[in-house]
Chains A and B, each alone.
Chain A
Amino acid sequence: MKDIPDSVFVQKVISGDTEAFGELVLRYQKRIYELAYRFARHPEEAYDLSQEIFLKAFNALERFRGSSGFYTWLYKIAQNTCIDYTRRKSTWVELPFINDFPSDDSWLHPSTAYSSTTKFLENQELNNEINSAIDQLSPRQKQVFILRHYEGLALRDIADALDLKVGSVKAHLFNAIRKLRARLTPYVQ
């Protein structure tokens, strides 16, 4: 199954075999989720965001011309969806305490889970702090920073993806690093 190229499944989906899309999802679910997580920084939101990405891809699959690989095409959709997500999210009011709880139910059983909870919180503190610092970047700074540092895109590619000039990308990147540096000073000194 793994040796079969994506294009075979794409053709099957286009000809009406929805189940064939399941194989493509299985192949790229993790990579797309990781990209979504970089933008959403919360498992549930990243899950929903990656579902949204695959749903968009499924609905747009008829327009896939095959001039690039399926994953390149899917990644472009994912990127745009994540960029839209940061735009949308910039208008939301986030509840600050949601990230402070472990995602399992160990905090409901303090007598048996005290140590694991404490450890969880200790391990999570830095992650939460970094996530929170990234959250405080402007949407553009966030997009540029994530695409550069998590996706490893070149400045030119980021400029194309965000419809910016390379100079603007540099400026956003510089400001993002400066803000993160100021916010995370205690952790890097």
Chain B
Amino acid sequence: MKCGWIENLIPQYCEDILDEYQLNLVTQHLENCEDCGLELDAVDRLLSLVENVEIEYPPQAEWNSFWVDLRCKIARTQVDQRSSLLNLNWYHGVIWKFAGIGCVMLLTVLLCSQFLGGFSLMPSYRATEDFQAVNRFFDEMSVVQILEQINSEEQGIGFVWESDLVLHLESEELYNFSPDTIAESIYLNDLSDLDFPTYPSGSLDNAVLTSMK
């Protein structure tokens, strides 16, 4: 058996962590090899030296005040923990207060907007005053009547739409669509079905209706 291979096993031999086969090999080799025996002695001495390194203790005064020092650290930790807990509570309190105030303010704004006009939670037209007038017309009379009124010179009422849509409503092409189709489209706020020669750039709620007598 080569010494190099056995030498590699010597630390493990000293540690007593070789398996039975390796242990037998090393033991037999050591009986006949002086060099490996010296290496074993060296590793043994090394481990003995290392294990017997003296422990240096701190000066006696410091050693005796070990518990006093530790007691101070414990007290400091307890104070830190308490203050961090207090801080946490304080932050929680502030956050909850702000959250509560925010909720109340949001609710107030929503209620005001709902009842006083402007923004609304419900999806609806951003109707101008004039457009609301159109809606009132629809409530009161049929679309045919509205169209008749629009085009009636006798009534002395004409409507001018101040948008692309207006021009087409006033033109002859208006009559290419049935009144029902126009009415439905206006109700649905979807004028795409009307297929105007020039598609209206604004939706119905952007159109401003003005009456001309």
- Chain A residues proximal to chain B, CB less than 8 Å: 18, 21-22, 25-26, 29, 33-34, 37-38, 42-44, 46-47, 50-51, 54-55, 58-59, 103-104, 126-127, 130-131, 134, 148-150, 155, 170, 173-174, 177-178, 180-181, 184-185, 187-189
Residues of B in contact, count (CB < 8 Å): 29
| Complex Cα gap A177–B55 (Å) | 21
Contact present for A130 and B73 (CB under 8 Å) = no
Chain A residues contacting B17 (CB-CB under 8 Å) are 155, 170, 173
Given the interface pairs A43-B57, A43-B58, the reply to whether A18 lies near B74 with Cβ below 8 Å is yes
A-B contact count (CB 8 A): 90
Q: Does B62 contact A (CB under 8 A)?
A: yes
The SS class assigned to the B binding surface is helix
Contact status B43-A177, CB under 8 Å: yes
Q: Is the CB of B53 within 8 A of A127?
A: yes
Question: Which of chain B's residues has its CB closest to A21's CB?
Answer: B74
A3, B165: Cα distance in complex, Å = 102
- Is B156 located at the chain interface by the 8 A CB criterion? no
Give the one of A25, A173, A188 with max B CB within 10 A: A188
- A33's partner among B11, B50, B57, B69 (CB-CB below 8 A) is B57
Do B46 and A103 touch (CB < 8 A)? Answer: no
Q: Which of A29, A38, A51 contacts B73 (CB 8 A)?
A: A51
- Per a CB cutoff under 8 Å, which of A22, A44, A51, A180 touches B50? A180
Cα A22 to Cα B14 with chains together (Å): 41
B62 partner residues in chain A, CB cutoff 8 A: 47
- Report yes or no: B67 in contact with A184, Cβ–Cβ below 8 A: no
